[in-house]
Every structure is written in C-alpha cells, then in structure tokens.
Amino acid sequence: MSTPNEPWGNTVDVEFEDDIAFVFFNRPEKKNCMSPALNREMYATLHTLELDERCKVVVLTGRGEAWSAGMDLKEYFRETDNKGDAFKMHTRDESQAWQQIKLRFHAKPTIAMVNGWVFGGAFTPLTSCDLAISSDDATYGVSEVNWGIIPGGNVTKVLADTIGQRNALYYIMTGETFQGPKAAQMGLVNESVPADQLKARVVELAKELMKKDPVVLRSAKEVFKRIGAMDWDTANDYIYAKSDGAILRSGGEFRNGAMKAFLDDKKLKPGLDTYDKEDK
C-alpha cells in the first residue's frame, strides 16, 4: 500500500521486489485502458522512481488479464467531444509526457512485462520501454481501422520504427491481432515465453542489468535512442561526449576494475562475462 508521500495507489500501483519496481497499470476492470488520470499518476510515479533507492530496474506490467488495451475511448473521445481543442491538446500532452519523454528516457532501465491484451495506444509505452518480454498468449492489435479512425499517439511512428513497413502496414490496414511469438519474430518484443515463465524471465533479465555500471548503462541507452536522427559525424561526436561524461560521472571505478581484471589479473573475459566489482 502506498504512503501519502508516494504518487501511486489509484490508477497506477507499484510493488518493490529485490530492487525491482513492478509498476502496474491498475485499471483491471477497464483492461488497463489509459485515462487522463492514469497519465498524470504514471508520470508522477516514474519521476519518483528515478530517485527511489528501492528501484534499480522498472518493470511495466498490468493488473488482471491485460497489459493495456490502449486509450480509454470514453474518457478520451466521448467525454472530450465538447471540451474544445485546448482541453484535447492538454490531454494529448499529458500522454506524451510520460510515454515518450519520461519512460523513453528514464534514468533506470525499463522492461515491459507483457501479460495480456495490448491494443492501439498501448504500443507507444511498450516501445518506449528499453526491453520487452512477452507472454506467448499475449494478444496485440492495432484495431483503429475497425472502428473508423487511424492509430493515434505516435503508434504509427513507433510501429514503423520497430517492426518495419510491411508488418506495420499489414496490421494497421487489416486490424488483425497477433500473439507473443509473432511479436518477438517481428522485433516488437525481445522474447516471448510461456505465461508461467514470464515473471521469472523478467526478473532474470532485470538482475543481469543490475550487474552493469548504472551510469554507463543509462548513457548507452540514451545514445542509442538519440542517434537515429543524427548524421554520422554528429553521432560520432555525441557518442564520444556521452562516453567521456559517463566515465566522469561514474568515477570510472567499474571500468578501471574491469580493465585490471582483464589485462592484469586475467580473470575476466569481457566479451563473455560481466565484471563483478565485488570479486576483488
């Protein structure tokens, strides 16, 4: 249960386990559809977890039978029909703030643990997570064409960037669904595993990420997410600057220890192992 100092507890919930913060879409009765209230609570939750020492990795998942079934059609469309453009722009900005800014560039590593339905607008936070592990029986769909609109919330953009033109257009134009193994085959998620193995695999992956230098890990993912829009020379300069900055901010202890273990002590094979700073 959250305390008054914690921003979650209503449409978003958090459980801490072995330095992992499991962040839940918490509207199971609505298949975890995203609402304006959820957007605000999710932003505040992710912001708080960046500084929470109980959290080294964020896992985004859903209560009940859905990861998230996308945008709440009633709250986003029917109830905003008469609110005017300013209100609609405000709700759109709140959605983008946590999905495409706070989650995409979160200070901690992020993993989507996909446990059920994923529809429409849910593709944006899914692809904003650094990594994603799916249950085999998770069901994905870009169904907007079935009821007369086009995918919104940058869903088309993230699908084009993640699964490519042919796959993206097929599902955007047909509205057909697909399951976890197909999502993995197309690169939408990293892996698809049986439902009863989902959490164990996510925890295993989270613990592997925890072995890395957290400052370097954050810089590595930020570099990757930003260089796609850069030319080669700009990207090269940016990578060197981020590398120098990461070493400076981390103090270089992890790097120096790994170099010693590899070059002097002959105890580390960096292409195969992660340096263990506790193994002096």
Q: In the annotation, is 71 catalytic?
A: yes
Burial class (CB in 10 A: 0-12, 13-18, 19+), 66: buried
Order of strands across the sheet with 20-25? 12-17, 20-25, 57-62, 110-114, 131-135, 191-193
Classify strands 139-141 and 110-114 as parallel, antiparallel or unpaired. Answer: unpaired
Q: Which residue has the tokens 């009940």?
A: 64
Task: Indicate the helix (H) or strand (E) that contains 202.
Answer: helix 198-210
Query: What is the Cα–Cα distance from 96 to 167, expressed in whole angstroms?
Result: 24
Question: Quick check: is 140 catalytic?
Answer: no
Catalytic site residue from 65, 240, 245, 253: 240
Concerning whether 222 is annotated as a catalytic residue, the answer is: no
Nearest CA to 162 among 80, 204, 225?
225
Concerning whether 187 is annotated as a catalytic residue, the answer is no
What angle, 0 to 180 degrees and rounded to 10, lies between the N-to-C axes of helices 36-49 and 85-96?
Answer: 30
Which of the following is catalytic: 41, 42, 62, 71?
Answer: 71
Please indicate whether residue 121 is annotated as part of the active site.
yes
Which of 76, 140, 171, 275 is flagged as catalytic? Answer: 76
From the candidates 94, 140, 144, 153, give the one annotated as an active-site residue. 144
CB of 132 within 8 A of CB of 188?
A: yes
Which residue out of 116, 120, 121, 257 is catalytically annotated?
Answer: 121
Active site residues: 71, 76, 121, 144, 240
